[in-house]
């Protein structure tokens, strides 16, 4: 029996092939959704580490429990202001880095 070689692909190659090349609308939407999903999971993890329910966090932030639930499942529907208020209520530090024409601006 002859061993056949299996071709392996990197994650980037798979994304390029099945989602779209970097710079395409499809790829940009995918990457955005992925970042928002990660942000939502970060909110949930921080909340759980503080032993808070969604309702308790909502009260601290001034929003309904349902909005906290939506944030945790995918933060793409939230405003930056709401996200900042959530992390402040969680006593968690969050930083945003913005790059404008080769110059970084850090928002804390």
Domain that holds residue 15: 11-107
In a domain, 4, yes or no: no
In a domain, 34, yes or no: yes
CA-wise closest residue to 55 among 72, 75, 74: 72
pLDDT score at 6 = 87
- Counting residues of the chain whose pLDDT is more than 70, the rounded percentage is 83
In a domain, 2, yes or no: no
Give all strands (DSSP E) within 36-95, no chain letters: none
In a domain, 82, yes or no: yes
Residue 97 confidence class, pLDDT cut points 50, 70, 90: low
Give the domain CATH number at 44.
1.10.260.40
User: How far is Cα 58 from Cα 86, in angstroms, rounded to an integer?
Assistant: 8
**Residue 58: burial class (beta carbons within 10 Å; 0-12, 13-18, 19+):** buried
Task: Return all residues near 70 (Cβ < 8 A) that are at least 6 apart.
Answer: 77, 78
In a domain, 1, yes or no: no
Q: Is residue 96 within 8 Å of 107, Cβ to Cβ?
A: yes
Residue 99 confidence class, pLDDT cut points 50, 70, 90: low
Total structural domains within the chain: 1
In a domain, 3, yes or no: no
What are the phi and psi torsion angles at 104 (to 5°)? -90, 140
Residue 107 pLDDT > 90: no
**pTM for this predicted structure:** 0.67
Would you tell me how many other CB atoms lie within 10 Å of the CB of residue 54?
A: 20
pLDDT score at 64 = 92
Taking only the tens place, the pLDDT of each residue in 24-76 is 999 888 888 888 888 889 899 999 999 999 999 999 999 999 999 999 988 66
User: How far is Cα 41 from Cα 54, in angstroms, rounded to an integer?
Assistant: 13
In a domain, 6, yes or no: no
């Amino acid at each position: 029996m002859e061993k056949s070689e299996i071709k392996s692909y990197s994650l980037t190659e798979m994304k390029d092939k099945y989602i779209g090349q970097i710079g395409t609308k499809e790829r940009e939407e995918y990457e955005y959704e992925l970042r928002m999903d990660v942000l939502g999971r970060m909110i949930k993890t921080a909340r759980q580490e503080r032993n808070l329910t969604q309702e308790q966090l909502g009260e601290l932030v001034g929003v309904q429990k349902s909005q906290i639930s939506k944030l945790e499942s995918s933060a793409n529907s939230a405003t930056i202001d709401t996200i900042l208020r959530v992390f402040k209520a969680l006593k968690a530090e969050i930083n945003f880095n913005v790059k404008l024409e080769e110059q970084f601006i850090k928002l804390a």
